[in-house]
Structure formats: C-alpha cells, structure tokens
Amino acid sequence: MQVPRDAVLLRIFVGENDRLGHKPLYEAIVMRARESHLAGATVLRGPLGFGHSSRIHTTKLLEMSSDLSYVVEIVDKDEKIQAFLPELDKLMIESKGSGLVTLEHVQVLQYGPVSQ
C-alpha cells in the first residue's frame, strides 16, 4: 500500500475504560480501520495526562488511575480518512464513551521498507 507524501493524521483520544461490547474501544477502532483498508493504525498508552474533567490519570502506584488515556493514530490520504470518519462516529456513539478526535495534515517521509 502506498501512502502519499501529503497525508492526514487522525488522532483519537479515548479512555481505558471505554468499551464497545466486551472489547476496548481503541481495539474496536483499530479493527474497523483495518476493515476499511486504511494504511495502518497505532495505539499508544498514556502513562500521565488529564482531559476535560481536569482529573489526573497516571500509572504511578500511589496514585492509581482507573481510566488511563489511549491514543489511536491513523495516517492515510485525506479522502480515506474522511470516508472513515462516519464509521468512527458510529463507534464513539455506540460505545457511549467520550473522546477527542483531531486531524492534522502531515508529510509522510517514509512508509515501508527503504528502497535501495
């Protein structure tokens, strides 16, 4: 799969406790992105942060949080990301979770193996 040099980064912030059925929401998002033939998705776990509630979420032992942040990042061409947004919206609504979704234009410098 070829990702164009000018692409879009879709970043989705969700909580660890956000679920779609028995599956974590971040996992459901990645699976749907794969079904939609997007170039790829990465999930990052946030060891420290806060959101709209201003409550600190941390992995520190003395301050255990029950809802750490997860970030799903997906990069692909703008048209494919735009086509995926309604699917993402359905997942977010169905999960009854809350999250932050951002888009930014990026330049892809490399994707896949280095050609010699």
pLDDT per position as a tens digit, 44-95: 998 777 766 666 666 655 555 567 889 999 999 999 999 999 999 999 999 9
Please give the model's pTM, rounded to 2 decimal places.
0.84
What is the reported pLDDT for 54? 63
As a residue count, the chain comes to: 116
- In a domain? residue 65: yes
Provide the 8-state DSSP code for 115: P
More confidently predicted of 36 and 48:
36
- Two structure tokens written together for 83: 């086509």
CATH number for position 73: 3.30.70.120
Number of domains in the chain: 1
| Domain around 58 | 6-107
How far is Cα 77 from Cα 41, in angstroms, rounded to an integer?
13
- In a domain? residue 116: no
Angle, CA 67 vertex, CA 26 and CA 102 arms, to 5°? 45
- In a domain? residue 95: yes
